[in-house]
Amino acid sequence: MSWIVLVVSGVLEAVWATALGRSEGFSKLVPTVVFAVAVMASMAGLAWAMRTLPVGTSYAVWVGIGAVLTVAYAMITGDEPVSALKIALLLMIVGGVVGLKLAH
């Protein structure tokens, strides 16, 4: 169950990171509210997962999921350019996250 909560928390990290960028310095209400709710839920889930999972592994998985999804979403929406190198580097992050899960 802790792994599921951790993965959902990682997804929420991507949500709050994207909302933070779209809030334009907290000047837009809807993205600011999405940011606030997602960051609280993401942190709460990370904290809950860390009760039974190692701190270093939990944090690395959480950040990895959030980072990959944030960049992937930005590339899909056209906010960030797509390149083969970026995709390869994102796949390396995914590989590292999967490796940490398997090594647990």
> Given this model, what pLDDT does residue 103 score?
85
Range of the domain at 12: 2-103
pLDDT tens string 49-93: 999 999 999 999 999 999 999 999 999 999 999 999 999 999 999
Report how far Cα 20 is from the mean position of its chain's Cα atoms: 13
Say how many domains are in the chain: 1
pLDDT tens string 5-27: 999 999 999 999 999 999 999 99
Closest CA to 68 of 85, 92, 83, 90: 90
pLDDT tens string 24-51: 999 999 999 999 999 999 999 999 999 9
pTM: 0.91
Element (H, E) at 100: helix 84-103
